[in-house]
Protein backbone atom coordinates (compact mmCIF):
# COMPACT_ATOMS: atom_id res chain seq x y z
CA UNK A 1 0.00 0.00 0.00
CA UNK A 2 2.99 2.28 0.16
CA UNK A 3 3.67 5.58 1.87
CA UNK A 4 0.07 6.82 1.72
CA UNK A 5 -0.74 4.49 4.63
CA UNK A 6 0.02 7.25 7.16
CA UNK A 7 -3.46 8.72 7.69
CA UNK A 8 -6.25 6.22 7.20
CA UNK A 9 -9.88 7.39 7.20
CA UNK A 10 -12.03 6.60 10.23
CA UNK A 11 -14.45 4.57 8.12
CA UNK A 12 -11.59 2.40 6.85
CA UNK A 13 -10.19 1.94 10.35
CA UNK A 14 -13.65 1.00 11.62
CA UNK A 15 -14.02 -1.63 8.92
CA UNK A 16 -10.53 -2.91 9.65
CA UNK A 17 -11.39 -3.25 13.34
CA UNK A 18 -14.70 -5.00 12.69
CA UNK A 19 -13.70 -7.06 9.63
CA UNK A 20 -9.95 -7.49 10.08
CA UNK A 21 -9.63 -10.61 7.94
CA UNK A 22 -11.59 -9.12 5.07
CA UNK A 23 -9.62 -5.89 5.09
CA UNK A 24 -6.34 -7.80 5.28
CA UNK A 25 -7.40 -9.72 2.16
CA UNK A 26 -8.32 -6.45 0.40
CA UNK A 27 -4.91 -4.98 1.27
CA UNK A 28 -3.11 -8.10 0.02
CA UNK A 29 -5.14 -8.01 -3.19
CA UNK A 30 -4.12 -4.38 -3.72
CA UNK A 31 -0.46 -5.30 -3.27
CA UNK A 32 -0.81 -8.24 -5.69
CA UNK A 33 -2.51 -6.04 -8.28
CA UNK A 34 0.24 -3.45 -8.02
CA UNK A 35 2.91 -6.13 -8.41
CA UNK A 36 1.12 -7.72 -11.39
CA UNK A 37 2.32 -5.27 -14.01
CA UNK A 38 4.81 -2.68 -15.14
CA UNK A 39 3.04 0.54 -14.09
CA UNK A 40 4.90 2.60 -11.54
CA UNK A 41 3.16 3.69 -8.33
CA UNK A 42 2.41 7.23 -9.55
CA UNK A 43 0.78 6.00 -12.75
CA UNK A 44 -1.15 3.33 -10.87
CA UNK A 45 -2.53 5.93 -8.46
CA UNK A 46 -3.56 8.22 -11.33
CA UNK A 47 -5.41 5.30 -12.96
CA UNK A 48 -7.16 4.52 -9.68
CA UNK A 49 -7.95 8.22 -9.22
CA UNK A 50 -9.65 8.22 -12.62
CA UNK A 51 -11.72 5.19 -11.63
CA UNK A 52 -12.66 6.83 -8.33
CA UNK A 53 -13.80 9.93 -10.20
CA UNK A 54 -15.80 7.82 -12.66
CA UNK A 55 -17.78 6.16 -9.87
CA UNK A 56 -18.22 9.50 -8.10
CA UNK A 57 -16.56 8.34 -4.89
CA UNK A 58 -15.48 11.40 -2.95
CA UNK A 59 -13.62 9.35 -0.35
CA UNK A 60 -11.75 7.38 -2.99
CA UNK A 61 -10.82 10.54 -4.86
CA UNK A 62 -9.44 11.97 -1.61
CA UNK A 63 -7.52 8.75 -0.95
CA UNK A 64 -6.03 8.44 -4.41
CA UNK A 65 -5.07 12.13 -4.56
CA UNK A 66 -3.15 11.61 -1.30
CA UNK A 67 -1.56 8.43 -2.63
CA UNK A 68 -0.69 10.00 -6.00
CA UNK A 69 0.98 12.94 -4.25
CA UNK A 70 2.89 10.53 -2.00
CA UNK A 71 4.00 8.63 -5.12
CA UNK A 72 5.42 11.83 -6.62
CA UNK A 73 2.56 13.18 -8.73
CA UNK A 74 2.43 16.94 -9.00
CA UNK A 75 -0.90 18.72 -8.45
CA UNK A 76 -1.01 19.71 -12.15
CA UNK A 77 -0.61 16.04 -13.15
CA UNK A 78 -3.53 15.13 -10.90
CA UNK A 79 -5.68 17.92 -12.33
CA UNK A 80 -4.73 16.88 -15.87
CA UNK A 81 -5.62 13.24 -15.15
CA UNK A 82 -9.05 14.40 -14.03
CA UNK A 83 -9.72 16.89 -16.82
CA UNK A 84 -8.82 14.19 -19.38
CA UNK A 85 -11.94 12.35 -18.24
CA UNK A 86 -14.34 15.07 -19.39
CA UNK A 87 -15.29 13.43 -22.69
CA UNK A 88 -15.65 10.04 -20.99
CA UNK A 89 -17.46 10.72 -17.69
CA UNK A 90 -18.84 14.22 -18.32
CA UNK A 91 -18.14 17.71 -17.12
CA UNK A 92 -20.29 17.63 -13.94
CA UNK A 93 -18.52 14.52 -12.65
CA UNK A 94 -15.10 15.95 -13.51
CA UNK A 95 -16.00 19.26 -11.84
CA UNK A 96 -17.03 17.41 -8.67
CA UNK A 97 -13.83 15.36 -8.75
CA UNK A 98 -11.74 18.50 -9.18
CA UNK A 99 -13.42 19.94 -6.11
CA UNK A 100 -12.70 16.77 -4.11
CA UNK A 101 -9.08 16.79 -5.30
CA UNK A 102 -8.91 20.44 -4.22
CA UNK A 103 -10.00 19.39 -0.73
CA UNK A 104 -6.62 17.65 -0.49
CA UNK A 105 -4.38 19.83 -2.67
CA UNK A 106 -5.91 23.25 -2.18
CA UNK A 107 -7.06 25.48 -5.01
CA UNK A 108 -4.76 25.94 -8.01
CA UNK A 109 -2.66 29.06 -8.12
CA UNK A 110 -3.56 31.58 -10.81
* Per-residue pLDDT tens over the stretch 35-93: 999 999 999 999 999 999 999 999 999 999 999 999 999 999 999 999 999 999 999 99
Q: Which CATH number belongs to the domain containing residue 53 in this structure? A: 1.20.1290.10
Neighbours of 15 (CB within 10 A): 14
Q: Rounded to an integer, what distance in angstroms lies between the CA atom of residue 10 and that of residue 60?
A: 13
In a domain, 2, yes or no: no
Q: Are residues 91 and 107 in the same domain?
A: yes
Q: Are residues 70 and 17 in the same domain?
A: no
Name the nearest CA neighbour of 72 among 106, 101, 43. 43
Lowest mean pLDDT among 1-5, 11-15, 72-76, 103-107: 1-5
Instruction: Supply the pLDDT for residue 58.
Output: 96
Domain of 61?
40-110
Q: Are residues 27 and 54 in the same domain?
A: no
Q: Are residues 90 and 102 in the same domain?
A: yes
Residue 8's pLDDT band (cuts 50, 70, 90): confident
Amino acid sequence: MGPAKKKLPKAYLGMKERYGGVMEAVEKMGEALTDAGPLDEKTAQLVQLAAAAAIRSEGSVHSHVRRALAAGAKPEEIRHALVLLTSTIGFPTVAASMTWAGDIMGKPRK
